[in-house]
A and B are shown apart, each in its own frame.
Chain A
Amino acid sequence: MSDVTPIAAATTEESTQVVAEIVRETVRPGWRTRLAEQPALVLAGVLVVLYAVTVWKDDSLLTVNGVRSILLLACPLAVFAASQTLCMLTGGVDLSVAMTANFAAYVAANQSGRGPWIALAMALGVGVGVGAVNGLAVGVFKVNPLIMTIGMASVLLGVVTVGLRGWLAGSTDVLDVVRTVGSGTLIGPLPTNLLVWTGISLVLVLGLRSSGLGRVIYAVGDNQIACRLAGVRVWQVLLAVYVLSGLLAAIGGLLFSGTTGSVGVDQTNSYLLPSVAATVIGGTSILGGTGGYTGTILGALILTVLNRLLLRLEVSEAFRQILYGLIVLALAWSYVRLTGQKVREGGG
Chain B
Amino acid sequence: MTTPLLLETSAVAKAFGAVVALRAVDLRVRPGEVHALLGANGAGKSTLVKILTGVLRADAGAIAIHGRPVALRRPADAQGHGLAPVFQDPAMAPDLSVAENLRLTRVDVPAVRRHLSDMDLGQLDLGEQVRDVPLPFLRMLDLARALAFDPQLLVLDEITAALPPDLSERVFAVMRRWKERDRAVLFISHRLAEVRAHCDMCTVLRDGRDVASFVPAEGGEGQIVAAMLGEAATVVREEARTRSATAVDVGDTALLEARNIGAGRHLEDVSLAVRAGEVLGLAALEGQGQDVLFDVLSGNRKADRGELVVDGVTVKAHHPFDVIRRGVVLVPSDRLQALLPQRSIRENIAAPLFNRVTRWGPINGREEGRRIDEAVQRLSIDTRAASQVRRLSGGNQQKVTIARWLARGLKVMLLFDPTRGIDVGTKHQVYDLVRALADEGAAIVMFTSELREIGLVCDRSAVLHNGRIVAELPADAGESALLRAAHGLETVPA
A-to-B contact residues, CB < 8 Å: 1, 3-12, 14-19, 22-23, 26-27, 210-213, 215-216, 218-219, 222-223, 225-233, 236, 240, 289-290, 342, 345-348
Task: Output the nearest chain B residue to A346 by Cβ-Cβ distance.
Answer: B390
Report the nearest B residue to A207, measured CB to CB. Answer: B362
A19-B20, A19-B59, A216-B360 known; A9-B340 Cβ under 8 A: no
B319 in contact with A23 (CB, 8 Å): no
Q: Assess whether A216 is in contact with B354, with CB atoms less than 8 Å apart.
A: yes
Query: Can you list 15 A-B pairs, Cβ within 8 angstroms, ordered by A?
Result: A1-B213, A4-B5, A10-B60, A18-B13, A19-B20, A26-B15, A211-B360, A212-B360, A215-B351, A228-B300, A231-B320, A231-B321, A346-B390, A347-B50, A348-B385
Contacts of B360 in A (CB 8 A): 211-213, 216, 240
* Contact status B332-A8, CB under 8 Å: no
Residue B309, interface by CB 8 Å: no
Partner of A348 from the list B3, B47, B330 (CB cut-off 8 Å) is: B47
CA distance A214 to B464 in the complex (A): 42
Say which residue of B20, B46, B300 sits within 8 Å of A347 (CB atoms): B46
Contact with A along B23-62 (1 / 0, CB 8 A): 1100010100000000000100011001000001001111
Q: Contact between A8 and B10 (Cβ–Cβ < 8 Å)?
A: yes
Are B64 and A346 in touch, CB under 8 angstroms? no
- Given contacts A228-B319, A289-B342, A348-B47, whether A215 and B9 have CB atoms under 8 Å apart is no
The majority secondary structure among interface residues of chain A is helix
Nearest-Cβ distance from residue A208 to partner chain B, whole angstroms = 11
Contacts of A211 in B (CB 8 A): 360-363
- 0/1 interface trace, chain B 380-404, chain A, CB 8 Å (1 if under): 0000010000111100000000001
Whether the Cβ atoms of A348 and B352 lie closer than 8 Å is: no
Residue with the greatest number of chain A CB neighbours at <10 A, chosen from B4, B62, B356: B62
Determine the distance from Cα of A342 to Cα of B15 in the docked complex, in whole angstroms.
12
Q: Which residue of B lies closest to A345 (CB)?
A: B16
Q: At the interface, yes or no: B365 with Cβ under 8 Å from chain A?
A: yes
The chain A residue sitting closest to B391, CB to CB, is: A348
- Please tell me if the beta carbons of A22 and B343 are within 8 angstroms of each other in the complex: no
Q: Does B286 reach chain A (CB closer than 8 Å)?
A: no
State which of B9, B22, B339, B391 has its C-beta within 8 Å of the C-beta of A346. Answer: B391
B21, B363, B385: the one contacting A212 at CB < 8 Å is: B363
A54 to B197, CA, bound (A): 73
Q: A7-B64, A19-B15, A211-B362 are in contact. Are A227 and B20 (CB under 8 A)?
A: no
Q: Judge whether A210 and B11 touch: CB under 8 Å.
A: no
Instruction: Report the contact-size class of chain B (Cβ under 8 Å from the partner).
Output: 35 or more
Least CB distance, B301 to chain A, in whole angstroms: 11
A290 to B343, CA, bound (A): 8
CB–CB B351/A219 < 8 A: yes
CB-based contact B365/A210 at 8 Å: yes
B336 surroundings in chain A (CB, below 8 A): 223
Contacts A8-B10, A219-B351, A347-B47 hold; do A15 and B5 have CB atoms under 8 A apart?
A: no
| Residues of chain A lying within 8 A (CB to CB) of residue B462 | none
B-chain residues with CB within 8 Å of residue A227 when the two chains form the complex: 351
Do B12 and A15 have beta carbons less than 8 Å apart?
A: yes
B351 touches A16 (CB 8 A): no
Instruction: Collect the chain B residues with CB atoms within 8 Å of residue A236's CB.
Output: 357
Give a binary string over B427-448; 1 marks a CB under 8 Å from any A CB, 0 the rest.
Answer: 0000000000000000000000
Are A226 and B69 within 8 A (Cβ)? no
A215 touches B10 (CB 8 A): no
Contact in complex: B341, A7 (CB < 8 Å): no
Q: How far apart are the CA atoms of A236 and B392 in the complex, in Å? A: 30
Distance of A231 Cα from B319 Cα, bound (Å): 7
Task: For the complex, give the distance between the alpha carbons of A215 and B61 in Å.
Answer: 42
Q: A19-B59, A218-B343, A348-B42 are in contact. Are A229 and B337 (CB under 8 A)?
A: yes
Closest beta carbon of chain B to A329's beta carbon, Å: 24
Which residues of chain A are near B17, meaning CB under 8 Å? 22-23, 26, 342
